[in-house]
Structure 1
Amino acid sequence: MKAYIFPGQGAQFSGMGKELYENELAKSLFEKANEIIGFRISDIMFGGTEEELKQTKVTQPAVFLHSVILAKTLGAEFQPDMVAGHSLGEFSALVAANALSFEDGLRLVIARANAMQKACELQPSTMAAILGLADEVVENICNDINEVVVAANYNCPGQLVISGSIEGVDLACQKLTEAGAKRALKLNVGGAFHSPLMEPARVELQEAIEQTTILSPVCPIYQNVDPVPNTDPEKIKLNLIKQLTGAVRWTQTVEKMLADGATDFVEVGPGNVLQGLVKKVSREVKTSSATVA
């Protein structure tokens, strides 16, 4: 069974999507996006600097556009048995699977980026990657800290990103290092994504999501906060609303897709980070199965 997976923020690079522009469908979608956004985001994607691409109003729509337009140009080749997206990539997955229109998906991504930026400006906050510890150890240490700090991205076994206030993340990094973490690396991000500090963004985005038409996708989608196969539009909406303050359970998503028969994971969009995470999860699943056997 074929699983299509869609990357999130951080996968962007200068030149992204440029090769797609020669395709007539892709060209029309890029131009439609430029009109909706109000500036030529395609020019920044194709030839902008790294700094230009890092702007919040650019990054999320750029990754979304690359992924969705690539999926659209695949045409009859795009026949997924299941889809999933990492954080922002969930919106790409929904558009590719025909649950969201291209225009509505782009507008939601723009609204999401703006809402997250506002939330980041309300309180200084950050994230950090923790390597080499079991998820439970990271969760327990975060729970014992009297600051806002939570497990935010379960990327693969031994790689978990925490998110919260600067004080909370700093203290957690110190305690996690003492507990044996191989690395506790603060990330160059604008705020505490997928944490309670994104509550103002969740409230703002909820209204936009509730007013948007979402249909049943052509195949099940495995969402970040509830990584089980889902085709119910109302559940999809609820999970999208929860996503900004909820954890990205990518490890659990891949585990469930494998259990449900996924044999071929195809990453649609810039980069190949998700392929690396899938391999690590798959390796762990095989090791666990061999141990049990």
Structure 2
Amino acid sequence: MTKTAWLFPGQGSQAEGMGVDLKDTSIAQERLAQAESILGWSVLEVCQNGKEKLTQTLYTQPCLYAVEGILVDLMRDRRREPQVVAGHSLGEYVALYAAGVFDFESGLRLVQRRAELMDKAEGGKMVALIGFNREALQTEIDKSADVVLANDNSDGQVVISGTPKAVDAVLAQVKTKRAIPLNVSGAFHSPLMAEAAQQFQEVLQSVEFADASVPVLSNVDPTPNCEGEVLKQRLQAQIVGSVRWREIMAQLSEMGIEKAVEVGPGNVLANLLKRAYSDIARENVGSLAVLQA
């Protein structure tokens, strides 16, 4: 048996039309009905006709969770199972669902509240950097309490997050091939999200976390773990903590993972893995057509 990891992308991977081809399956119909009763709006309608809404955190995150969760169910229906799971930022919620830590509705309620809090965040800035000197970047980050390494995606790609002044100060001192400002209002995955994290804790504590059926590699701690309470603590820390995706990929290699399946729209995670660990085979499952092939 091929030792396989399921990986789940986060915000930024959404695409208009995602999930639409799933709508005629009984599994998708059930999940979409559950989602609409919780959210008060149609995931399918936003994915199909809501291009503007799909770029808004309030809608993006629940849509991604729902579509990726449905793909998980369809893969399971075809008797496919992972040996380890991980998700990038929002994707970690789908990873926990895939590992049986909570049910679909509980996960969606968590994502809904997370999206509401992050959508309200103000006064922050996030910039993706491609091609830079890591030591020089860390030196500049260490000089300020108002900027952090929010997403450590790979050796050559990171995202910094903080106050606009602090982020601009770092950019002025670090040479980089490309610096891409992200279209977000808040400094996600930084201490500036502490208030949101505190408010999120209220809903998080109301959800029971079961032990995972397979190891989960969390964003804030990429060591494999199956204990529900540990995974809950790690998820609580995620809003203010860094996404340590570079270390997650290294962990997959150390665990002897032979194949990684990116479950969801796009191939961002597969491309990162290709550049870092090309010996791990990659597959993208983002549509019903791919599942049926």
Secondary structure, counterpart of 1:72 in structure 2: helix
Aligned to 2:132: 133
Quick one: percent identity of the two aligned structures? 40
Aligned to 1:271: 266
Deviation at 1:156, TM superposition (A): 1.0
1:97 equivalenced with 2:96 (yes/no) = no
Match of 1:182 among 177, 186, 193: 177
1:207 equivalenced with 2:205 (yes/no) = no
Instruction: Report runs of 4+ in structure 1 exceeding 3 Å deviation.
Output: none
- Matches of 1:161 and 1:241 in 2, distance apart? 20
1:115–1:200 CA contact under 8 A, matched in 2: no
Letter of the structure 1 residue corresponding to residue 138 of structure 2: E
1:156–1:281 CA contact under 8 A, matched in 2: yes
Deviation at 1:115, TM superposition (A): 1.4
- Matches of 2:199 and 2:221 in 1, distance apart? 21
Letter of the structure 2 residue corresponding to residue 56 of structure 1: T
**Number of residue pairs aligned between Structure 1 and Structure 2:** 277
Matches within 5 A, 1:1-293: 1-49=3-51, 51-74=52-75, 75-118=77-120, 120-121=121-122, 124-145=123-144, 148-177=146-175, 181-283=176-278
The gaps in structure 2 that reach 5 residues or longer are: 281-293
* TM-score, normalised by the number of residues in structure 1: 0.91
Q: Point out the structure with the larger helix share.
A: 1
Secondary structure, counterpart of 2:174 in structure 1: helix
1:195–1:245 CA contact under 8 A, matched in 2: yes
Letter of the structure 2 residue corresponding to residue 41 of structure 1: V
2:4–2:257 CA contact under 8 A, matched in 1: yes
2:43–2:66 CA contact under 8 A, matched in 1: no
Deviation at 1:284, TM superposition (A): 10
- Matches of 1:24 and 1:255 in 2, distance apart? 37
- Matches of 1:78 and 1:204 in 2, distance apart? 37
- Matches of 2:73 and 2:278 in 1, distance apart? 31
Deviation at 1:136, TM superposition (A): 3.3
Letter of the structure 2 residue corresponding to residue 167 of structure 1: K
The gaps in structure 1 that reach 5 residues or longer are: 286-293
Letter of the structure 2 residue corresponding to residue 258 of structure 1: S
Letter of the structure 2 residue corresponding to residue 101 of structure 1: D
Letter of the structure 2 residue corresponding to residue 247 of structure 1: S
1:134–1:157 CA contact under 8 A, matched in 2: no
- Matches of 1:221 and 1:208 in 2, distance apart? 21
Deviation at 1:32, TM superposition (A): 1.0
Deviation at 1:24, TM superposition (A): 0.7
Letter of the structure 1 residue corresponding to residue 116 of structure 2: N
- Matches of 1:12 and 1:182 in 2, distance apart? 25
- Matches of 1:92 and 1:134 in 2, distance apart? 33
1:214–1:237 CA contact under 8 A, matched in 2: yes
* TM-score, normalised by the number of residues in structure 2: 0.91
With over 3 angstroms needed to count, the CA separation of the structure-2 counterparts of 1:156 and 1:284, relative to structure 1, is: farther
Deviation at 1:258, TM superposition (A): 1.0
Q: Give the alignment's Cα RMSD to 1 decimal.
A: 1.5
